[in-house]
Amino acid sequence: MASGTALIYDDEMTSYKLLWDDPECDIEVPERLLSSYEQLKHYHLVERCIHVPVREGTEEEIMLVHSSEYLEVVKSTQTMNEEELRRVSENYDAVYFHPNTYRCAKLAVGATLQLVDSVMSGKVRNGMALVRPPGHHSQRNAANGFCVFNNVAIAAQYAKRRYGLQRILIVDWDVHHGQGVQYVFEEDPSVLYYSWHRYEHQQFWPLLRESDYDAVGQGKGKGFNLNVPWNKVGMGNSDYLAAFFHVLLPVAFEVMVLEQGGRGLMAPSLALPLFTGCQGK
């Protein structure tokens, strides 16, 4: 039986930064990733993990979620000057581009897929891909909220295609709603997407009506999208534990286990849980 926890990280994903003044994006700095890794080191967790090397995601893998047109836009930023980068960034909400963004975004995708392969092959029991840029806000044709490629959505599509998975659970624990993941899978009954996030009656970014509790999926995917929107601030551990035990676990058990004849969460050939989140947007 697989044992051990994988850790996938590479300093190269800190090699892009904001080149101009933008109050909306100035918190997205390389130190966000570095500080997370340093915290793991501080608690002696890095030394307890199994280290898996990073690789680039391929164009074919990226296009499991994103359009070829959008991929070409991101690729083109590698050779742009600062003014050109700024103009492209202004086409999207709360995103900036740098000549190294494309390389880092491919590493973020590849690191996430390395983790899927490590778990599914039995090399490890679970793991963490510590990546930058994040992904859960990005959409088929658009960067959004610091996110370039939707790493976890690509991972889910990759796991279904390569390993024939019948059920995937995505748990999104970021403070913001991961609308990009929701859009990808809102008509897909093979992926259960669960997000708890600040909502404040649609007054908290991304300011979307579809971030509310009644956005439950569409068509065949109806019932497989589960939002827990917090309408006030200051939610504590007890609030999150209540949502976890009384909302997430019962639904996940029904979808991932009972619908698979009681085998779902115990058989990696059938189901896979994925957790995602990011600092800031």
Catalytic residue positions, numbered: 137
Q: Give the start-end residues of each E strand in the chain.
A: 5-8, 50-51, 126-129, 167-172, 191-198, 225-230, 271-276
Kindly write down the DSSP assignment for every residue of 182-250, as one continuous string.
HHHHTT-TTEEEEEEEE-TTTTSTT--GGGSTT----GGGTTSEEEEEESSS---HHHHHHHIIIIIHH
Please list the helix, strand and coil fractions of the chain in percent, rounded to the nearest 5, in that order.
Answer: 40, 15, 45
d(CA 202, CA 215): 13
Q: Can you tell me the distance from the alpha carbon of 161 to that of 188, in angstroms, rounded to the nearest whole number?
A: 14
Is the separation of the CB atoms in 125 and 169 below 8 Å?
Answer: no
Please tell me the distance from the alpha carbon of residue 58 to that of residue 123, in angstroms, as a whole number. Answer: 22
What count of residues does the chain have? 281
Amino acid found at 166 = Q
Sheet holding 191-198, edge to edge: 225-230, 191-198, 167-172, 271-276
Assess contact for 180 and 136: CB atoms under 8 A: yes
Contacts of 272 (CB under 8 A, 6+ apart): 116, 119, 120, 159, 163, 165, 167, 168, 169
